[in-house]
Structure formats: structure tokens, C-alpha cells
Amino acid sequence: MSTQTTATSSAAAVNEYTKLNIPRKIGYACGDFACNMSWTLVGSYLVFFLTDIALINATTVGLLIFISKFWDAVNDPIVGSLADHTRTRWGRYRPWVMFSFIPMLIFNVLTFTTNLEWSETARTWWGLGMYFILALVYTMVNVTYSAMPAMMTRDTETRSALSSYRMTGAFLAMTVLSYATLRVVNAMGGGATGYRNAAIVFSLLAVPFFIITVASSKEVVTIDDTKTEKVSFIKQFKVLKGNWPVIQLAIAYLGWGIIQGGMTFRLYFCTYNAGDELLYANTQTLWSVMGMVGAFSVSYLVTRVKNKGTLGGVSFTLIAICSIISQFLPITTSGGQIIYYVMMGGVGLGSGMMLGNVFGMMPDTAEYTYHKCGVYCAGFLSTFINFMLKVGQAVSIAGAAALLDALGYVAGAQQNATVLFAMNFGSHMFIGLCSIVCAIALFAYKLDKATYDKIVADLRERGMAN
């Protein structure tokens, strides 16, 4: 009994509203740099790898991606709920990252491994199996990593700063991969061997960054389980009823997931419409650099607005404008490509601002839900919102691959006019239209800073927060 009292007193002595120092923020950010050695590699290159390197039919690839993404989306809330009920000396969420990142990196390599001497059926089942497992272990790492800020501090601006630093790390990883992936693939033999070896290089690069995150991120927020309503996994879904901050973020994430499908077309667009696959590498590098600028700027910009949703709405608006303009550029001319670089820089800036801001909004919904429903479930909320992201990805990426096949796409050949138009539309106009919907959802966001401060003050009065 005295041991429990001492532990409680010690926990209470910790400042749960701490403004974390820069080394701690950088340490946390290292985790998303490491995660993107898988996330960006898969998101940017897996569909192309499966269709043009593993030589799997595009419709089959679309089905493979859909099944894997749907599975990924389904296991998100399960992992989140399990993490919410985890109690260890390392915290709730940190041990999931600690013990899952090595298996994730192993399956990252296996997903980009194929053998052209196998039958297409064997290559398809191998691709499905490896990606299926990668999706699960990636969930175990990333959704718990995303939930950690809710336990690292209750200070809303510090949470946004963590998100800003995190996305700066993510965009740094995207910059590295955008510039280096095709170059490393070609330097290491090209084809299937080149892609496998590139996956090995990037997975090894991720290891020290994961270790830094685990070592430097400490969970200090304590939740009094005696004052938290005990609910089953199924009943947790009841906290979503009328929970508009969570619903609006889920809409934005669903939209961003759908946008990912459009972005799948970009490598095809640069390769076949522009006739230069390095245009993709170069513009994607610029996109990532500007994304870093946008993400890092959030730590300052968020202090200048009363509502984080406004910043997210502005970010999606910038993405929409630049994407729609890109639809109409003469991409085979030098002048058209120069403007294209500028537009992709704008899309990158908006993407960085949006992601850096929206990830910082997610932890605040934990207190809102705790106040509204009496259930603290940061992990569940994080995974539900990520569930919507992955549903959007599953539908749009699978749809993109199926659409190419239906329109007559042939890997490595001259494409017909309809396929070329679809590649352009999917890469640009489609992204612009989806971004407009996401902007509207975030402009309507009502959990502003004043409301959040009142919620936290009320929780403290009730003894539900320190």
C-alpha cells in the first residue's frame, strides 16, 4: 500500500504541462524520420515496383494494395485499444515502438523483394503476404508513436511543437528518399535487386533514429484509472458519437488518404507524360524540402492563431491551388517544367504545414473526449483517425492501379491518350478537389485554444488531471 502511495506521489510531482526542450523534441522527431524509411518508400514506390519490376498485373496490384490497406485500417483500432490498456515501467505507448521497429524494418525489406523466376501467382502471393505483415507491424510502431505526445505533456502548444518537429523529421526522410531512391536502385544493379538493396540501405539507416526516439521520449502524463470509465473495445466506439473534433480530423485524414492515391500517379506521370522519371525524383525532393519548411514553421505559426483548424484549412487551400494549376501545364516544355517545380514546391509547403499542424491537433482530442465521455483513450482515437487515413489510401491507391489497367496501361510502353490524361488528372486535379473538401472540414473545426484551456481547467477541478 505504501509503495503505491509513494509511486502516486512521485507521479504527481512531475510537471505534466512541461514545455519540452529542443533535444527532447528532436529525439521524438527522429521516430518519424525512421518510420518514413518504410512509409515513404512504400507509398511512393511500391505500386510501381509491383507493376513494372515484379511484373504483376495492375488490377491485381490494385486488389493486393486494397486488401493490405483494408487490413491495415482494421488492425489500427485494435492495436490502439491494446496500447491504451498497456501498463509498463516504460509507459503505455513507448514499449510498442521499442519492441516492434526491428520486425517492421525486416518486413520492409521483404516487401521489396521478388524473384522473376517465380510464376506471377507466386510473386503476387509473396507480395501480398509480406505487405500484409508489414502493415501490421508498421501499425504497432506508428500509431503508438503518434499517441505518445498525449502522454509526454498536456501543454497544447508543446504538443503542436512536437508535431512540427515530428513532421520536419518526416519530410527530411522524404527528401532523402525522394532524391536517393532511384539513384540507389540504379547504383545497386537496378531492377529487383536494386530495389531490394535500396530497402536494406534505408532500413538500416532507420535503426539508430528509432533508438534515439525510444531513449529520449518519456511519458509523464498520469491517468487515474479509478476515475476513468472502464469500457470494452466495442464500447469505445461510442466515444465517437457527436465527437465533432475527432470526426472533423477523421474527414481530413480520409481526404489525405484519398489524396495519396492521386500521388501514386505522379511517378507514372513524370515517367510517361513528361518522359523523365528523374523529374519525379527532383520535384519530389523539392516537395519534401518545402514540406520541412512548412512543418517546422508550424511551431511558430500555431502560436499566432486562436484555432489550429484555421492553419490546417489554409494549408489544404494552398495544396488545392497549386495542384489545380499543375493540371494545365505544358509538362514537356522547359517553361512548363519550371512552373511545375514552383507548384510542387507550393504543394510541399502546404503539405508540411498541414501535417505538422494536424498531428498536433490529434492529442488535444484526448482531453476533449475524456471531458465529454469520461474515457481516456488517446491510443484508440489516434488509431481511429489513422484508420480513416488508411481507408482512403486503400480505396484510392487500389482504384488508381485498377483504373490504369482498365484504360489500357502497359508497363514500359508508349501509353494511349486516355491513360496519359488519367495520370495527369489523378496527379493534380483530383488532389486539388479533395484538398478543397479537407480545407472546408478544418475551417469548421471548433476545438480552439480557449475551449481546450477550459476543458483542462475543468478536468483539474474534478481531479481528473494534475
For the chain, list the domains and their CATH numbers: 21-217+233-461 (1.20.1250.20)
Q: Above 50 in pLDDT, residue 3?
A: no
Question: Any residues with CB less than 8 A from the CB of 4 and at least 6 apart, and which?
Answer: none
Q: What is the per-residue pLDDT for 232?
A: 64
Q: pLDDT: is 74 or 140 the higher one? A: 140
Closest CA to 270 of 290, 255, 258, 286: 286
Query: CB atoms < 10 A from the CB of 460, how many?
Result: 12
Give CA–CA dist 158/398, Å, rounded: 37
Give CA–CA dist 404/402, Å, rounded: 5
Q: pLDDT: is 12 or 138 the higher one? A: 138
Give the orientation angle of helix 334-361 with respect to helix 156-187, to 10 degrees. 140
Give CA–CA dist 151/92, Å, rounded: 8
State phi, psi for 304 to the nearest 5 degrees: -100, 0
Q: Once rounded to an integer, what is the mean pLDDT over residues 28-32? A: 94
Closest CA to 151 of 135, 162, 141: 162
Question: Any residues with CB less than 8 A from the CB of 184 and at least 6 apart, and which?
Answer: 194, 197, 198, 201
Q: Once rounded to an integer, what is the mean pLDDT over residues 398-407? A: 86
Measured in residues, the chain has a length of 466
- Partners of 88 in the beta sheet? 91
Closest CA to 219 of 10, 370, 14, 7: 14
Give CA–CA dist 243/240, Å, rounded: 5
Cβ–Cβ < 8 Å for 192, 114: yes
State the DSSP string of 55-107. ---HHHHHHHHHHHHHHHHHHHHHHHHHHHT--BTTBSSHHHHHHHHHHHHHH
Give the orientation angle of helix 334-361 with respect to helix 277-301, to 10 degrees. 40
Backbone Cα Rg of the chain = 22
CA dihedral 106, 292, 268, 124 (to 10 degrees): 20
Q: What are the pLDDT digits (tens) for 235-291?
A: 778 888 889 999 999 999 999 988 877 777 888 899 999 998 789 889 988 998 998
Cβ–Cβ < 8 Å for 401, 59: yes
What 3-state DSSP class applies to 231? coil
Closest CA to 397 of 54, 45, 159: 45
The pLDDT-based confidence of 231 (bands split at 50, 70, 90) is low
Q: What is the per-residue pLDDT for 7?
A: 40
Cβ–Cβ < 8 Å for 58, 264: no
Question: Any residues with CB less than 8 A from the CB of 203 and at least 6 apart, and which?
Answer: 37, 38, 105, 106, 108, 109
Q: What are the pLDDT digits (tens) for 165-210?
A: 888 898 899 889 988 998 999 999 999 999 999 999 999 999 999 9
C-alpha cell at 33: 524520420
Q: Above 50 in pLDDT, residue 8?
A: no
Question: For residue 414, what is the DSSP state?
Answer: P
Q: Above 80 in pLDDT, residue 72?
A: no
**For the whole prediction, is pTM greater than 0.85?**
no
